[in-house]
Structure 1
Amino acid sequence: MEFRGALHLERTAVGLRPWRLPAWTAAQAPGDALRRVAMMPSGVRLAFRTAATVLELALHAPPESPYPGAIELMLDGVRAGRAPLPAAGGPTVLRFDPGASDGGREVELWLPQWTSVELVALRADAPVHPPRPTGRLRWLHHGSSISQAPEADSAADVWPWIAAGRAGVDLLNLSLAGNAHLDPFTARTIRDQPADLISLKIGINVITAASFRLRTFVPAVHGFLDTVREGHPDTPLLVVSPLFCPPFERTPGPAGYEPTADGRRFTALGDPADTAAGALTLEVVRAELAAITAARAATDPHLHHLDGLALLGREDADGLGDLLHPNPAGHRRIGERFAALAFGPGGPFAATVATS
């Protein structure tokens, strides 16, 4: 078997918990927020080859997760079943019936994108073998909760995976909800990972947490890109600016919340007048990212920029469920547009994919 999409396997008292960051990164961030999202296995798959007609996955889920999610069964890359996790959490055994096959099939069990799980055992009624290499290019994407996506229907319906499926590439999703802050440990992780294509979606967490002002944001972006380039000097590298988000377009963060009839929506708590002193808004961040990538591209021909408004703009506000996070329809729209703009003809990833 193989854990695809995980960078660390933690052995717990009951089983194995996959992480999407190396274990050492947790010690370099304050509090537990990074640890929690790194343990959420968005895009992590248990991959193997088998002729089994019955599969059982024993696992332990945390109690009362707001997004318990489900385990998705993929057979030879095609969705073939789904088993929801219990809302109350705790130990459970999920059963899948792949059906008979001649000579076995490539199987992937996709873990939920928003709930950490401890895997206890995999049982099958036929031998389980290591999976065959996919032969696909590896696309590494880093972003925020918008790319990790509790609101998507499943891990396979998160917008980067929609784009990856259309482009025929393998994705390593290093999106960290609430924790895309240009952290040096994240840059070093990306630097040290094999990747044929890299995209960095920068900006929304910087504003919602008010973690930078203009003076510190610009050199932090340069430093992040410098570190990534240490390990990937010629890899196509795409900087993606923020999507449309009404509260923060012209008002700085930090973020607050307003209750609504069906949940909550985001609101900006900053003062628009503070932008003159360096507070960041989405309009400021988009302009700065465009300027930074344009200046660096003069000596880095493999560096590219994509305006996030081309993925989800003002006219697409119906794709936002809480004024910040895309709803399922929004994820489909973003994924399809990213596939066309990044992987399609003339896109920054098109030449690499075409020659693979």
Structure 2
Amino acid sequence: MGQKTLILGTRGSKLALTQSEMMAAALRAANPGLAVELKIISTKGDRILDVALSAVGDKGLFVKELEQALLDHEVDLCVHSCKDLPSVVPDGLTLAAFPERADPRDALVINAASPEGDRASASILTLPTGTVVGTSSLRRASQIRAVRPDLQLRDVRGNVDTRLRKLAEGQYEALVLASAGLDRLGFTDSTVDGPRPFTAVDASFVSLPISAEQMLPAVAQGILAIECRADDALTIGALAALDHAPSRAAALAERAFLGRLEGGCQVPIAAHATLAGDSLSLRGMVGSLDGLNVISAERTGDLSDPAAIGVALAEDLLARGAAEILAELATAKQ
């Protein structure tokens, strides 16, 4: 496509830089002659580290400054963890590519030296009563409380290294993290089916993937979304080779589900899409903060209109009691 330099805006965290470098390399490989340079941009979510995400704002904490940089023509594209994105894309911007999805599951991370560290069967269900589990996600907390109300859940903030260091220091006895982040950082091997031992921050850990049946992932977890200006034909064209149709369909279905429910960081909402042939199946969940009321359902439809499946599933849940849960959460937030 000739000589051209694209500026890729990215957060400065280790995971964000890793993901952005991956996409920059893929762009260069797919577009000979294209140069891609990274520009680090600090977001509000990066700067506020001592307060739970649910208490400081809604979705967009990690993306608003990046999107403003796009609108101001300071950068040409941004790589996001799709689960961090609000369901509505700002006017003038577009999600031009969804690269192939990584492992969408959550993972229970424990010290390798802990009593559960060498047990292949260790899971949320087998943790001892009173175990202190770190998570900053209301979605995870709601689902954990639904099956293990005897565990102690505590907020944990910071990047992956920071959280692992806190686990190693004994501030927590277990963490729940996204498998995709651990895989992309090179800590764990996504091809391993079962416990995944790894070393980080001078300590040894075991990552135990949690099945989507046991804990539904966040909307679009494991998917990267590459955003650019909607009128930037050159960048959109360069990104075309990175778009993965099945991952795009899953993202659109899950994001439409979220959009209909108008949910964000302050609401326990989860969704996970799977594809088979020409059909897409979407499971979704809305839960109360205490985990006492968790409503879930599944909807299958034609792959040609994934967003319609997401909206239909949201309507199902709203009719079955999710509307009341969301209203209670909105009232409690005020």
Structure 2 length-normalised TM: 0.30
Higher relative contact order (CA 8 A, sep 6+): 2
Structure 1 length-normalised TM: 0.29
